[in-house]
Structures are given as structure tokens and as C-alpha cells.
């Protein structure tokens, strides 16, 4: 067990409606890293994002871990640091303050337009995939379908509400932001201080896994 203690524990949180299978191509040296995959649970009615993060942080069993969150999962891991001791927080295809949210999301906050989104169509895999991955995925729907987890309408509504109403203004400590230059959900022009990934899109954790496998060990260790 002593050997295990020297390893770095990395906890990975997927984005909205996505399952941890989005991390299946992540391949880090096992002599240094232990990778743990987190999954979304259906939030209990009325739970705040912060309380949900507290509940999620109870799944982390070690001290001084590294948290990695994709998209909305990136917001969640930033909330989790309020409850656990972390070595580093890595967000991918995400934002580190409300000022980085795109204008249309801020517009949604003021007009409550997100309440009008047709999330009742939860059997509509295409729509959920669009929310989860930020691109129209008709051509590759079967490919994306296996990466989706939660299809509950209440969960999707809750996620959208928490995203557009996120309050954080100052990024947390020890944060590394990795962002795709071609991200259409959180456009690069709104993002300050990040490690850019050339041609990276909102789904680059899957499509550019090679980049992550080559660069993550150094990013985590430095």
C-alpha cells in the first residue's frame, strides 16, 4: 500500500449529461497516476450547485488529489475545492469565472430563456448530445450516444440553470485551464489565461486524447 501512497490520484468529472466513458482514451503512466472516474447523479430537488459539489466531494477518498473537470464538470470541480484539499484543479473546455460565459448564456440568465428550452424531449438523443457536446452530432449520433449518461429532464434543466447562474468571479487557486481554439460552446475569445489546444473543439477530451496523454503528466506534475 505504501507504494500506492506516492501516486497522484486524479479524479475526472465529465460534462453535462455525459458519462465518464468520455475519458476512455485517457492513458496516463500507471506508476505515477491513479485515475478515478466520477459520474453525475440525479440532483435531489432544490439542491444548490455548491451542495451538490459537497456531496460529490465525499467520493474523493484521498488528500491532495488532482481534480479534472470537463465543461460543466469543470465548474463542479471548482466548487468541490471548497470541501476538499487538492493539489491542482484542471478544467477542460470550461470556464473559470462567470465573466467567461458567452453572452448568449448571460442573456439566458436575465430572460430566463433557458426555462423555455425543450428539454422535455429527453428521448431526443440528438438534442441532449447537442447540450452535452456542443455541436450538431446527427452524422455521428450513434458514436455520441454511448457517451451520454443522464437523460432526466429535471437534471438537464438543473444543469442549464446552474450554468447560466454560476456566480464565481475569481478563479480558484492552483487552477490550470486547457481550452480548444475551436470550442463553440465557450468561445476562445472570452477565455483568459489558458493552455490553448490547436484545432481543439468542445469534445477534444475524446478527439484529441493524444494531446492530453502527451501533456497532462507534465501539467499535473509541474
pLDDT in tens, 84-122: 999 999 999 999 999 998 877 665 555 554 554 554 444
**What pLDDT score was predicted for residue 1?**
35
Rounded Cα distance between 75 and 49, Å, is 9
N-to-C CA span, the chain? 25
Share the mean pLDDT of the chain: 85
Higher pLDDT pick, 105 / 164: 164
pLDDT band at 128; cut points 50, 70, 90? low
Sorted by where each starts, the structural domains of the chain and their CATH numbers stand as 2-221 (3.40.50.1820)
pLDDT at res. 173:
93
152/62: higher pLDDT? 62
Q: Please count the helices (runs of H) and the strands (runs of E) in the chain.
A: 9, 6
Cα torsion angle, 107, 112, 116, 119, sign: positive
Contact partners, residue 42, CB within 8 Å, separation at least 6: 150, 152, 154, 155
Q: Judging by beta carbons within 10 Å of its beta carbon (0-12, 13-18, 19+), is residue 27 exposed, middle or buried?
A: middle
Q: Is the pLDDT of residue 123 over 60?
A: no
pLDDT confidence of residue 135: 59
Give the C-alpha separation, 11 to 14, whole Å. Answer: 10
Of residues 91 and 129, the one with the higher pLDDT is 91
Q: Would the pLDDT of 205 be above 60?
A: yes
Residue 136 has pLDDT above 60, yes or no: no
Residue of 35 and 103 predicted with greater confidence: 35
Q: Average pLDDT, stretch 201-212?
A: 91
pLDDT at 152: 75
Amino acid at each position: 500500500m505504501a507504494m500506492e501512497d506516492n501516486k497522484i490520484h486524479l479524479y475526472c468529472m465529465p460534462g453535462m449529461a455525459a458519462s465518464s466513458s468520455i475519458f476512455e482514451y485517457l492513458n496516463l503512466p500507471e506508476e505515477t497516476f491513479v485515475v478515478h472516474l466520477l459520474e453525475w447523479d440525479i440532483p435531489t430537488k432544490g439542491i444548490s450547485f455548491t451542495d451538490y459539489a459537497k456531496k460529490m466531494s465525499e467520493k474523493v477518498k484521498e488528500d491532495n488529489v488532482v481534480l479534472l473537470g470537463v465543461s460543466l464538470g469543470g465548474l463542479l470541480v471548482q466548487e468541490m475545492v471548497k470541501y476538499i484539499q487538492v493539489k491542482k484543479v484542471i478544467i477542460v473546455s470550461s470556464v473559470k469565472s462567470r465573466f467567461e460565459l458567452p453572452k448568449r448564456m448571460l442573456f439566458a440568465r436575465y430572460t430566463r430563456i433557458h426555462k423555455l428550452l425543450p428539454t422535455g424531449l429527453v428521448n431526443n438523443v440528438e438534442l441532449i448530445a447537442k447540450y452535452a457536446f456542443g455541436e450538431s452530432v446527427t452524422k455521428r449520433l450513434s458514436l455520441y450516444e454511448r457517451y451520454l449518461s443522464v437523460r432526466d429532464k429535471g437534471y438537464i434543466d438543473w444543469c442549464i440553470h446552474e450554468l447560466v447562474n454560476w456566480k464565481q468571479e475569481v478563479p480558484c487557486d492552483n487552477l490550470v485551464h486547457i481550452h480548444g481554439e475551436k470550442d463553440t460552446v465557450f468561445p476562445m475569445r472570452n477565455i483568459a489565461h489558458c493552455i490553448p489546444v490547436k484545432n481543439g473543439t468542445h469534445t477534444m477530451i475524446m478527439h484529441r486524447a493524444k494531446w492530453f496523454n502527451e501533456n497532462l503528466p507534465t501539467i499535473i506534475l509541474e
